[in-house]
Amino acid sequence: MLANFTAASSGFLFDAASTMGSGLVVGQIGDWMPSWATPIYAISLGLLLGAVVAAAFYAVLALLSFVPPLGKLADNSTRGTVASLIVGVVVGAMLCMRFASSSDEYAQTLYLPLLLAGIVIGYAVIYGMWHRTRSEWADILSEGVVPYVLSTLGAFTLIGVLGAYYVNDPMQFIESIPQVNLISDGTVVHEVTVPGANPSVAPDEATFHAQQFDYDLRAMSELIIESDKTVMLGDGASIAEFSRKPARIDAGEQMVYRYEDRDVPPLPSDPAKLHIQNRELDAATVKFTITTVPRIPEISQAVAIGCIVFFLISALVAFRQAAPRVWALALSTAKNEMAQTLYLILLALGIFGVVFFSIYPFNTLGDDIRMFKDSSVTLIMVLAMIQAVWSAGTSVSDEIEGRTALTVLSKPVSRRSFLLGKYAGIMMSIAVMFVIIGAIFLLLMAYKPIYDARETARATPGWQIGFEEIMSTVPVLGLYFMQAMSIAAVAVALATRLPLLSNLISCLVIYVIGNLTQPLVASARGENPLVGFVGNLIAIVVPNLNIFNVQTAMDSGNQVPWIYLAASFNYLVVFAVAIWMVAMLLFEDRDLA
């Protein structure tokens, strides 16, 4: 009996310990899970928003395609191109007026990206209304690299939506989306007229008049109050109703409130309680200039991600429908390269690398996040460039040497379309690599501040820290993708003449020199004129890849501004056009027989 009692007691204690251990684990997860799940949830809302807006937009265009003049506009390619350019220029001009006409000294760098974005939207509108597009949406979303990208983004979104269980007030994020200022800068001006004071009473006893205009104090980032008479702002009709000291604005002066200064707002939280006292005999005009931001400011960046998703879907429609031959070549190239063993090895190395870097102790006394970010984005870029050069050798050089290109060009495909299709296909396969590894990297980046805090026994950081780390990483990934595009363009141009090994060595030399161009030019200033001449000559002949390298900014902890991507994109466009001209010169007179 004693043995049975002992066994029963041991079993009970084991069950209790297991229960307590499970509860402890659940409690620990509950401590850090909101900090990890919330930034993923916010970004997932942006992805969902972009998908929903795109679905609604192209549903409307599909309905318009039943109107014969609109649905058949793109039957003639020339007519479709002209209409697309007209719509694109109009959209681009509107975007430039909204975003590039500000007083910011770098705003002019937005003109080219916004104009090109407008042209892409123009093609998407015209060809989105095409009757053939209406019946081909299933093919558009299921062919080539599109399912891989959609599956990755869908999995990321699903993780964010499921994580909403741990988010504090998830509906507040959704309610903040309409508060994002896309069209305007969020500034609203209200003017109210306050009757003059009764001459028979003292100024302190003048009536407080109720005012009727709506505002949200929680969404207010800046408030400027101006009055042509001396007035007092209170939260009641009489002194007995005041819960706070009234605010005084003298005639001709301004009262400025900024949320970032953590000042006490001069207005009551309930607009219905706002009362104004005019201390002078003549009527007063009080002007309220209110600048609002979403209640959750971070949702603005999530909406920006939604805009990017919408634009990428539009670019897909425009590319596939407006340039079907180039798209077919690109699709074939991408599928062929993604089926290669090297591609799968590089993809696996990238995933393993970012996971390893996320848990590797860099022992940098507080800079582990920076090292994790730097190591991961550099790894992704290097793998992408290796894949780009290899793909250029296998899909361009080998096809030319093996006479496969001659078979392709014997069809109604020009040499220009051949090179464009090969380059586009290579970049599509690299884009899939960036998306898959990048999505895992961002999920780990959201957890990295929590992991470091737990390792050093510090308090769990707020979710804003993880969100800020993610959003500071996205521009870096964009810049390194542009650098991969530059190397891929060089590789495709050289592949028209050089075999794979020679192309690989040449691209490696160009990459090294390209990242040293800017330091060479800077160091040559004021030195030997011959050294300066050689440095400037190298800067002209070899691409300045240092433009896309922001390692210095990451090392110093500075965030890369989004507008810097516009300046880098401008350089990429000019460089791509120059490389394109060189590629055509090398390929036009190449004997393929």
Position 26 confidence tier, pLDDT thresholds 50, 70, 90: very low
What percent of the chain is predicted at pLDDT more than 70? 87
Rounded Cα distance between 590 and 523, Å, is 40
The more confident residue out of 59 and 560 is 59
Position 441 confidence tier, pLDDT thresholds 50, 70, 90: very high
The per-residue pLDDT for 307 is 94
Helix or strand or coil: residue 208?
strand
List all residues 6 or more positions away from 266 whose beta carbon is below 8 Å from its beta carbon. 223, 225, 233, 247, 255, 257
Answer whether residue 27 shows pLDDT above 50.
no
Of the candidates 192, 203, 332, the residue with the CA atom closest to the CA atom of residue 280: 203
**How many Å from the N-terminal Cα to the C-terminal Cα in the chain?**
95
The more confident residue out of 36 and 101 is 36
The more confident residue out of 293 and 122 is 122
| pLDDT tens-place string over residues 455-491 | 777 888 889 998 998 998 999 999 999 999 999 999 9
| pLDDT tens-place string over residues 145-154 | 999 999 999 9
46, 47, 56 from 51: Cα distances, Å: 9, 6, 9
The more confident residue out of 28 and 104 is 104
Answer whether residue 523 shows pLDDT above 50.
yes
Highest mean pLDDT pick, 15-24, 94-103, 281-290, 431-440: 431-440
- Residue 446 corresponds to which amino acid? A
Position 555 confidence tier, pLDDT thresholds 50, 70, 90: low
| pLDDT tens-place string over residues 263-282 | 788 888 888 889 999 988 89
